[in-house]
Structure 1
Amino acid sequence: MNLESYPPLFGELSNQTQKVDTVDSTIKPICQDSDPIPVIDVQSLNLDQLEEACKDWGLFRLVNHGVPPSLLSQLQDHAKKLYSLSFEYKQTIFTSPTSYFWGTPALTPSGAPLSRGPQKVNWVEGFNIPLAPLFQLQAQDPPILASFRLLLEEYGKHLTRLATTIFKAMAMNLNLDQEQSKSNLSESTGSIRVYRYPRCSIADTAWGIDVHTDSSVLSILYSEVGGIEILKDDEWFQVKPISNTLILNLGDMMQAISNDKYKSVQHRVKLNKHKDRISICYFVFPDELSVIRSSKYKPFTYSDFQAQVQQDIKTHGFKVGLESFKLIEASEA
């Protein structure tokens, strides 16, 4: 481990044994059989297959997605170069509207979990890059960041296209009102988070990110190294890395928009003892003032949801999520 490039807390914790939280002792062990993840061909989109994947898994693999393999490779290479920079330097070059975080998902302040004990620290660092204001990254930025920006602009266009295409197909399956569904997925909210999960000698006793659901409508990720595990029917499944494929998972907003017909999949990230894991993730959300209406939940906006998440973290130390908005009649039904 090149300690200079990692947040100091990782060096401190590498000499400690961390307790791994489990979701439930009744959950079955990880399934490591042949890859069971549903596959969706973007070029010949099958609505029935998409419906089944959304209902049963909340996650699927995208093939024939149109993102050039060379672009995916370049993004990985540039991300590795950025993460090889010193911890102090990374803190200085990622300024608003971008941000750099570590030890925690992007929703909470960096280092915050330390106050709740080392077992809560996520073994991850990341760059959060909103796509809409990318033009604010000016020429005076370091060349390595400027070149990364150009790649992200191109990648963002591809991911926006994919998210819009898939969401329109979901809206058709759900018979959503066309005008309302336009505000349920807002291209301007798209952002990319580039994560690094450092290789870790205590990989069996620490998490990259522990169990959670995404708050997004859709999340699309690319990684060349395995580590994602998803929960389905009380059983954990490994999502294996397959060259030139992308993984799309549904978030909390999509579950609410679908009136709970689709699921926001629970997932976690396992560490690797031998290599770093770089993950490039695209997230997209509803319009800030778009009201999500459902027979299962009180009407709310994504801004309401964000505020509740921050309150959840202060009160409970974790995101409660959609349960905070669930109607009593729906929860008792």
Structure 2
Amino acid sequence: MSGQDLSSYPPLFVQTSDSERSVGLVSDSSPPIVDDWDPFPIIDFLKLNPEEIGKACRDWGMFRLVNHGIPEELSAQLQEVSKKLFSLPFETKQAQLQSPMSYFWGTPALTPNGVVVNQGVQKVNRVEGIFVLLSQLSQMPPGDDDVPMLNSFRNLLEEYEKHMARLARFLFEALRKNVDMDPNSSQSYLSEATGVVRIYRYLQCSEPNKAEGMVAHTDSSVLSILNQDEVGGLQIFKDDKWIEIKPITNTLIVNIGDMLQAMSNDEYKSVEHRVMNKRAERISICYFVFPEDEGVIQSTKYKPFTYKEFQAQVQKDLKTIGIKVGLQRFRL
């Protein structure tokens, strides 16, 4: 991080020396990383082929979406404003990024207090983020002199949400029909009102592919739709190796979450993925959509459960054993 203004970083990231950080590096004995080719399936939104999208979700649990209709200018503006927000002093972000958004660092959604325990050693993933409840954007207070770009940030997010909700609903309906899911469950199984955005800044690392910016995990969502910059770092675990998903301009990465795996009776795959820090900072914008809290998910592979019950179990596991167990807790 030499030559950079460090005031925007969480203090722990600045205070931790390279030697201390190396304790949490991925060991040489971990599964290999393949980053010299990209076999990732590509789905054309304007020519959705049921067979192709079904195969991608069964085999990979992720796919690259092209011709999605999100204006390049909108994505570029959202990326630019996000960079400006992240470049604010750490104390300003903590004080000013308030409901319906919140500022975080580490991985609090995946690990207790954002801390990862690896072989008895604690480490914090070097990522910070802004969490936004999209349904409450209208209640967001106007920006003040410290954060004047908050107004434009809200406007961009409101437009972005419309595109994301459209994509999520259309993709879900295509995937639902592909596995003969009950259409009567459609509304409760995918609730646009639950939509959230998490914007991440992954800090640079002197040793690419050695430090995890985001621990390996599956998403708890129905669908996750990722808009990433040109830096890269997203990896998917498949066939006993990590495969790097290369960033391609004006494409999106769509990820099947735990909820859709259960809804599809395990036909679709909620795939394990992670993010590795690179030599440059990385900005990614991810939209997550969930079922209604009280909507009951019926499956031949799992006992009936609601998303609210699922999340309560995840939080309990994080607090008691330090990891997310997820769907295995509900399997028949």
Aligned to 1:89: 92
Residue of 67, 71, 75 corresponding to 2:74 = 71
Structure 1 runs (4+) greater than 6 angstroms displaced:
114-117
Figure out how many residues of one structure are paired with residues of the other and give that number. 324
Matching residue's letter, 2:148: P
Matched, 1:175 2:180: yes
Q: In the alignment, is the contact (CA less than 8 A) between 1:129 and 1:192 conserved in 2?
A: yes
| % identical aligned pairs | 56
Matching residue's letter, 1:122: N
Shift of 1:31: 2.2
Q: Secondary structure at the match of 1:169?
A: helix
Matched, 1:247 2:250: no
Shift of 1:3: 1.5
Shift of 1:119: 4.5
Residue of 314, 323, 328 corresponding to 2:319 = 314
CA spacing shift, 1:24–1:315, aligned 2, 3 Å: farther
Aligned to 1:55: 58
Deviations 1:223-279 (A, max 9, x none): 112000001122211100000000001111111111111100100101012x11000
Matching residue's letter, 1:158: H
Shift of 1:12: 2.2
Across the aligned residues of Structure 1 and Structure 2, the Cα RMSD in angstroms comes to: 2.0
Aligned to 2:233: 227
CA spacing shift, 1:58–1:13, aligned 2, 3 Å: same
Q: Secondary structure at the match of 2:135?
A: coil
Shift of 1:106: 3.4
Partners of 1:203 and 1:84 in 2: how far apart?
Answer: 22
Aligned to 2:8: 5
Partners of 2:237 and 2:110 in 1: how far apart?
Answer: 22
Matched, 1:207 2:212: yes
Matched, 1:42 2:42: no
Q: Secondary structure at the match of 1:106?
A: coil
Q: In the alignment, is the contact (CA less than 8 A) between 2:99 and 2:140 conserved in 1?
A: no
Q: Secondary structure at the match of 2:270?
A: coil
Q: Which runs of 5+ in 1 are unaligned?
A: 328-333
CA spacing shift, 1:208–1:118, aligned 2, 3 Å: farther
Matched, 1:270 2:276: yes
CA spacing shift, 1:77–1:117, aligned 2, 3 Å: farther
Give the alignment's TM-score, normalised by structure 1: 0.92
Matched, 1:237 2:243: yes
